[in-house]
Amino acid sequence: TLFCCGESTVMGTGTPAVTVSGLSAANAVLNKLGKEPFVYKKDMKNYVRIVNKPFTAEAQYSGFPDPVREIMDKASACQFCEEPSCSRDKTLDIRGIMRRITVENFTGAQRIAEKMGIAEVVTSGVLAECERNCIQNIRHGMPVEIRTVIRYVMQGRNYRAENDVTERM
């Protein structure tokens, strides 16, 4: 089943239309799974963080401790290539892990790593090869620090669960 959401008009109706479309698509998925649809309730917990303009790179991970911010910065250096040169054999979803860490989804990154059996890969030298093949290394001589990010993920740390991240919002 394919569910589409978003705005495809030239009118540029913006955020309200895209939000409604996204919620409608999410409710269609929930319905298909036999789950209750999302319904707004007054006094719901807000997970949206309003940021001041201009939004700078330094502000992106503000509120996180330095070690976590460093890992997220390293992951955000990934170009999320459509055809990743870092993992040519397609068995390693390096891009998926980096993308999840970049957006604070440590649990999702851990799930991918576990599914790939990354624990064995960490000690085998395969990740060093991934860094050598990284497009950032090929272009600029500075690869994404894949090994550092993966090691952090494999520690099983979940910043969101260990800290009340909502304080930042």
Determine the structural domain holding residue 2 and report its residue range: 1-48
Highest mean pLDDT among 42-56, 81-95, 107-121, 132-146: 132-146
**pLDDT score recorded for residue 167:** 42
Asked whether residue 160 carries a pLDDT value surpassing 60, the answer given is no
Same domain, 73 and 150: yes
Number of domains in the chain: 2
pLDDT > 90 fraction of the chain, expressed in percent and rounded: 38
Same domain, 32 and 86: no
List pLDDT tens digits, range 61-83.
888 899 999 999 999 999 999 99
List pLDDT tens digits, range 121-153.
776 788 899 999 999 999 999 999 999 999 898
Asked whether residue 10 carries a pLDDT value surpassing 90, the answer given is no
Q: Comparing 150 with 59, which gets the higher pLDDT?
A: 150
Beta strands in the chain (DSSP E): none
> Would you say residue 54 lies in a domain?
no
- 101, with CB counted inside 10 A (0-12, 13-18, 19+), is buried
Half-sphere exposure of 75 (CA within 13 A, CB side): 27
